[in-house]
Amino acid sequence: MRRANRLVGATLAELARHIKPGVTTLQLDKIAGEFIRDHGAIPTFKNFPNPYGGPFPANICTSVNDVVVHGVPDSKTVLREGDIISIDCGTLLDGFNGDSCYTFCVGEVKDEVRQLLRTTYEALYLGIDQAVAGRHIGDIGSAVQDHCESHGYGVVRELTGHGIGRKMHEDPMVPNYGRRGNGIMLKDSMCIAIEPMITMGARAIYLMPDRWTVRTRDGQPAAHFEHTVAVRRGKAEILSSFEEIETYLGKTN
């Protein structure tokens, strides 16, 4: 699990080097697919089944601005100055899955949008702080919800984090809202993906005709950060990593 998730982090860091105005989401998808395969893994999202339609056609999800999740890379979506793009990436390596997401700025982004990203990022780590043996799923959701709603943001209800291991999506579901003490009790060595999906405006979303792309109803931007973690006694172990991404971004910003 560590190896699969570290590869996801390395893939996102590789993509960070190519995110700039003029680049298409399809170009990013091709870079990701080659990078993952060159490292001996399989892009898990490619051909991932959809109960509402056809399988996912790409290696990564590229969600730009008001797209909350599951944006499909294509040659028509060109990144522009001031955009944000959430890139969700999964790998299958030696029978185990990695899953992580990071929301990137494209050039100079409005301060209010950067604040959305900061708050969502902070909420991810507040949720991770609750991923401790003996606590409950609701403790994670409550931490995320309280932080984001205190800043006036919407917390998407219809999409959640999840268990992860030999399959990409396993039990339990990990909502980004809830009450402390509710839900299943967390046990040592459980692996879960925690992924706040937060909107600048109302939390209402809708599904596009492609049966994958999920957008905000009011057209406001959304942010999405995700780590795969192992539940431990005392403190969760983060299996994925933003370190390489942020080392690169720190050098360029």
pLDDT tens digits, 203-219:
999 999 999 999 999 99
- Percent of the chain scoring above 70 in pLDDT: 99
Token pair listed for 41 = 């893994």
Close Cβ partners of 240 (under 8 Å, ≥ 6 residues apart):
5, 6, 8, 9, 98, 99, 100, 226, 227, 228, 229
Cis amide leading into 196 (omega within 30): no
For 160-163, which contacts have Cβ atoms below 8 Å and span 24 or more sequence positions? Answer: 160/195, 161/192, 161/193, 161/194, 161/195, 161/226, 162/192, 162/193, 163/190, 163/191, 163/192, 163/193
Please give the torsion angle defined by the CA atoms of residues 38, 42, 45 and 48, in that order, rounded to the nearest 10 degrees: 150
H helix or E strand, kind and range, residue 129: helix 111-129
Residue 51 pLDDT level (bands cut at 50, 70, 90) = confident
Mean confidence (pLDDT) of the chain: 97
Nearest to 9 by CA among 252, 247, 176: 247
- Polymer length in residues for the chain: 253
Per-residue pLDDT averaged across 172-190, rounded?
A: 97
Q: What is the mean pLDDT of residues 95-122?
A: 98
**Band of residue 253 on the pLDDT scale cut at 50, 70, 90:** low
Considering the entire predicted model, what is its pTM? 0.97
Nearest to 67 by CA among 177, 164, 210: 210
Rg (CA), the chain: 17
pLDDT band for 76, please (50, 70, 90 cuts). very high
Mean pLDDT of 160-184: 97
* Spatial separation of the C-alpha atoms in residues 100 and 168, rounded to whole Å: 11
Q: How far out from the chain centre does Cα 87 lie?
A: 7
For residue 252, the model assigns a pLDDT of 62
Lowest mean pLDDT among 47-56, 87-96, 120-129, 239-248: 47-56
Alpha-carbon distances, residue 114 vs 59, 149, 209, 222 (angstroms): 27, 16, 29, 11
| DSSP type of residue 19 | -
Q: pLDDT grade, residue 53 (50/70/90)? A: confident
- Mean pLDDT confidence for 64-80: 98
